[in-house]
A = this chain, B = another copy of it.
Amino acid sequence: MKGTEKLTIKDVAKRSGFSVATVSAVINDVPIVSEKSKNKILQVIEEMGYRPNTIARSLKKSKTSTLAIIVKDITNPFYPELISGIEEVAWSKNYEVFLCNTENDIEKEKKYIDNLISKQVDGVFLSTSSLDRIVDYTVLSDSNIPYVFVNRKPNVLFDNEWFVGTDNYAAVQKAIRYIISKGIKDIAFYAGPQEYWTFNQRLLAFKETMEKEGLEVKDEWIFTREEFNEETGYNNTLKLIKDSKLPECIFCSSDPLAFGAYKALSENNIKVPDDMYLMGTDNNKFGELIGLSSIDMNNKQLGREAAEVLIDVLKNKETQKKNEIILPPELIIRSSC
């Protein structure tokens, strides 16, 4: 049925001959309405094309069936997978989700959080946290909005905070051990920005694994530049090449870093894997193009789990699950090593 007039539950009540309370009960599946009445009401709803006004419902119930995900930069190929996992589960449990892209802007992030509180979202996914909590997320819990850190987390986790992530330490440990098992000893490490838990863990794992295996970690082979994009990988590699001695392998804490490295290597006629082993992290789907070995961090599943946890918290208020959930990564070996 067309028409721009707004239908309310009152209209349905009037047309069907029942009271608003009864209609409301039908809409909300409260099982106190006789089958006969229910059918009649449903039919009228169908006929009139009535859709409940969720806003009014939210106001009354103080629940909006809305979640939000805050990310730094959605064009980072890591996020779409994560988001699609979240969306999938959220959808299945009848939540809509706001997408908040902070563009690396702290003030924007803070304002987003304020807005989300105003908009009364039921819960929030945070994938922006640095180790030292530049942004104060507890304003959310002060407003009774639970949140879960996804992928990245702050140094310490408070009560009422959840974290779902992949085991970055194990990921790198596994990868490095694999590389070593190939007889490689000289490994350069592009570490990425150390204020983030993920990159922090990865570097830690590298150092400790090398040490355990009795191998030397050269300072000039560790690059902790601020970014983890292609450009940084490219520049790191040029610098590496300028040095007299090349390592046998470059391990990159992200795939874009590895792509940049690959480009620099190609340009300098250094063949992968013949002259140099190369490994990335995150298993970007385009890594296959250059046969890049990588570590699959299971991003979609990460999103799914995060959504399960958050919605669980929402439903039970006190969830049985533990505060931290760590998923296993998977080593993906292709031709680059």
Contact = CB atoms under 8 A, between A and B. Distances in A.
B288 A290 contact: no
A101 B88 CA distance: 8
Interface in A253-306: 259, 262-263, 284-286, 288-290
Interface in A123-163: 138, 142-144
A18 interface: no
B288 A263 contact: yes
Tallying the copies of this chain within the complex gives 2
Given A59-B55, A117-B51, A81 B87 contact: no
A108 B96 CA distance: 12
A52 B98 contact: no
A118 interface: yes
A115 interface: yes
A48 interface: no
A80 interface: yes
Interface size class of A (residues with CB under 8 A): 35 or more
Interface string A230-251: 1000000000000000000000
Contact of A259 (B114, B117, B286): B286
Interface stretch (A71-79, A165-173, A218-226, A308-316): A71-79
Interface string A96-111: 1111110100001000
A83 B74 contact: yes
Contact of A115 (B96, B143, B288): B96
A4 interface: yes
A4 B144 contact: yes
A2 interface: yes
A80 B284 CA distance: 15
A306 B251 CA distance: 41
By Cβ-Cβ distance, the 7 closest A-B pairs, closest first, are A286-B286, A99-B99, A54-B118, A75-B80, A87-B101, A54-B119, A74-B80
30 contacts: A2-B138, A2-B142, A3-B142, A4-B142, A4-B143, A51-B117, A51-B143, A53-B120, A54-B120, A55-B55, A55-B58, A55-B64, A55-B119, A59-B59, A74-B80, A74-B87, A75-B81, A75-B84, A77-B77, A83-B99, A83-B101, A87-B100, A88-B103, A96-B119, A97-B99, A98-B99, A259-B286, A263-B288, A286-B286, A290-B290
Given A55-B55, A91-B108, 15 more contacts: A2-B138, A4-B143, A49-B142, A73-B84, A75-B81, A77-B80, A79-B80, A83-B99, A83-B101, A87-B100, A97-B99, A230-B285, A230-B288, A286-B289, A289-B289
